[in-house]
A and B are shown apart, each in its own frame.
Chain A
Amino acid sequence: MAAEVEETLKRIQSHKGVFGTIVVNSEGIPIKTTMDNTSTVQYAGLVSQLADKARSVVRDLDPTNDLTFLRVRTKKHEIMLAPDKDYILIVIQNPSD
């Protein structure tokens, strides 16, 4: 099972344009990362806050609703976060152009 996870993450990393994958736990500790330490820690901390805020927005608007995915498009790349109860999967991709 652990091997599957490894394989999945490796597959994600190998997609075109992806330059980083991070798995963060609910306390902000980066579990798995393909980037350098400083950026990882930065992303981990900042992104968790963003995900929490987004989730609270969604739930405030409709308590039965929940956040499934968050995409932040910036000038240089796109940050995709898939939040869960305990972990957050972050992927940074440079889109096709």
Chain B
Amino acid sequence: MDQLQYIYSKRRKEFGKKCCFKRNKTSLLVSIPANPEYFRSHYILTNPVDTETQTMGGDYSECDQVNTARPEFEERGMNHFEGGWPKDLNAADPEQTLRFRKKIEKDEKYIHTILQLSHAVEHCILQNNALDIYETYFEPDDSCMQAEPLSAKGLNVFQDPCQLKRPVHHISWAPDGGTRIAVSHCSLIFQQATQVDLSSQTYIWHIEKPNNPDLTLRPPSPIVCLEYNQKDPNILISGFYDGRVACWDTRKGPEPVEMSPLEPSHRDPVHRTLWMNSKTGTEFFSASSDGQIMWWDTRKLSEPSEVLILDPIKGQEQSLNRALGAISLEYEHTIPTRFMVGTEMGVVFNCNRKGKTPPEKIVCQYNAHLGSVNALQRNPAFVKNFLSIGDWSAKIWSEDVRESCIISTGYGPWQLTDGCWSPTKFSVFYTTREDGCLDAWDLLQQRHKSVLNVKVCDVPLRSIRMQEQGQMVAIGGDNGTTYLYQVSDQLVVPQKNDKPMFTEMLDRETRREKIVEARKREKRVKGKVKGDENRHGSQAKAQETLTFEEIKEDAQICEAERHFLEAVQSEEQKKAAAAAPEESSEEASK
């Protein structure tokens, strides 16, 4: 007890003072060595002892996989050589086998079974003989169209990765089998880019990876249009918002390879740039709303190789003041020297590059639309006919007929922003509307309305591009999102008699327009002649307008009528396209 107590005294005022611990060096206080003798005499071993062990270590090795010798399997046919004769029988001995057979034939069960089975077999044999139930009833009928409703399936959605969404202005498919699209974002609202500080980045997407763009391009100014070189999937050209053009190489990174300087470039945003057919494959031309078309060579972007001013008035001097701003360009690689320009004022110029003087370059004009011509494209199969999209309608023109279009879709409720032909099926074209809908038109089925209408989004759609195989279409909207749709096969696969029917339709419409043009010209000439006679005070024919009877008797009209009736009859006989009833109403209104 004594050792457990230690009495010490402390001053009351020192109570509660903090203990000051001091660090001491380690020191051995006491060491008691083991004494085995002591243990042996005072302790005994316990037996048994409860201990825990683990079944591992020592002799036991951990194995978590046991593998048996794997047998090899092989598929083989078996050639049945000889039946399963009983063991005591010698199969080679014909007498024994014969005896065996005879024995079985005498068996009761055998007889019974055979009689039963033969009933079934006879039934089938007779059936076979009576009717060949396996003959082909229907030849594989490819031309029979499945009456499934047309549809467009949304495949992917590519969103603008930037915070502030900029509208998609242009889309271009890469020529490497259509697995990539280059999308350009640009807001064409005057100076919105500087006000709101929109980024000017554009992206190249791989169609199967909608989450991250394949490549980001960083131009100094927003790109208005972007176009892949159809022969080289790495080269792109672009036109900027500030009027410059640039050439890009996807292998070299996000900066443009070369840019044109500000001075010789356009003064307004470059709306379209297109590659030209040239031996070097480096030439392209650009169109802008300042009314100029410039030709460039990618090797030397310091100045354009040629400039054309879109002055609609043919004079010696081409004035930039009178020029019409160009919005869309059209170039067909099979016709290398001609191209078409669609302007802001709704006029389409058909131009020839090889003209010596500027007035010669602009071959003719078409008054296409009430507003700007948003898109122009030649039909890939019928290059003399082109599609123009603008204001509220889509019109199809024939190059020879200058006064008016040959086929028009009529004014829709919404403005059309872009359109293109289907690259595989010639009578189909697509248009995008300001209410966010995609329309597919098939001229061979119905002309007054679209065959397919798909609501893509709630914002206006700005651009549409078909992939060259014709099945996928990329559509860009004002919210910066690009939608990838796949259209049903009926709009992609051409039918056998598509081409002749469509050719016929286009020819018929062209002929009709030509006749109308001729009539109008005639009337004008007649009116002028009559006006001259009046001025000279000769016999004044009061009626300048032809009466209905005169119209009916007119030889040309009679001829046209006869032609028309014949054509209708032949078409009815062939049960051709249902455009005949529309034809009759248009003819009668002449």
Q: Which residues of A contact B (CB under 8 A)?
A: 1-2, 4-5, 8-9, 11-12, 15-18, 23-25, 27-32, 41-42, 44-46, 49, 68-69, 71, 73, 78, 80, 82, 84-87, 89, 91, 93, 95-97
Contact = CB atoms under 8 A, between A and B. Distances in A.
Given A31-B110, A82-B117, A15 B126 contact: yes
A75 B233 CA distance: 50
B114 A8 contact: yes
Contacts of B82: 41
A89 B128 contact: no
A82 B125 CA distance: 12
B114 A91 contact: no
B145 interface: no
B117 A41 contact: no
A32 B105 contact: yes
A42 B81 CA distance: 7
A69 to B, nearest CB: 5
A16 B114 contact: no
Contact of B118 (A8, A27, A85, A86): A8
B3 interface: no
A31 B114 CA distance: 11
Given A45-B78, A82-B117, A84-B116, A15 B83 contact: no
Interface string B80-93: 11111100000000
B141 interface: no
A25 B104 contact: yes
Contacts of A28: 80, 83-84
A38 to B, nearest CB: 10
A27 B83 contact: yes
B127 to A, nearest CB: 10
Kindly state the interface size class of chain B when it binds its partner: 35 or more
A44 B83 contact: yes
Contacts of A30: 83
Contacts of A2: 105-106, 111
A25 B435 CA distance: 78
Contacts of B129: 15-17, 95-96
Contact of B128 (A1, A85, A87, A93): A93
Contacts of A49: 78
Chain B binding surface, main DSSP class? helix
Nearest to B134: A73
Most buried by A among B110, B128, B134: B128
Contacts, number: 109
Nearest to B105: A2
Interface string B101-138: 10011101111011111101110111011111011000
A84 B80 contact: no
A45 B83 contact: yes
A30 B116 CA distance: 18
Given A41-B81, A45-B83, A95 B120 contact: no
Contact of A4 (B81, B109, B113, B115): B115
Contact of B117 (A16, A42, A84, A96): A84
Nearest to B83: A29
Nearest to B108: A1
A87 B125 contact: no
Contact of B114 (A9, A29, A93): A9
Nearest first, the 4 A-B pairs at minimum CB distance are A45-B80, A27-B84, A29-B83, A82-B117
Contacts of A1: 108, 111
Contacts of A82: 117-118, 120-121
A95 B83 contact: no
Contact of B121 (A17, A42, A80): A80
Given A24-B83, A41-B80, A87-B117, 18 more contacts: A1-B111, A5-B114, A9-B118, A27-B84, A29-B101, A31-B101, A31-B105, A41-B82, A45-B80, A46-B80, A73-B134, A78-B128, A84-B113, A86-B110, A89-B121, A91-B121, A91-B124, A95-B128
A66 to B, nearest CB: 13
A32 to B, nearest CB: 7
Nearest to B114: A5
A86 to B, nearest CB: 6
B117 A80 contact: no
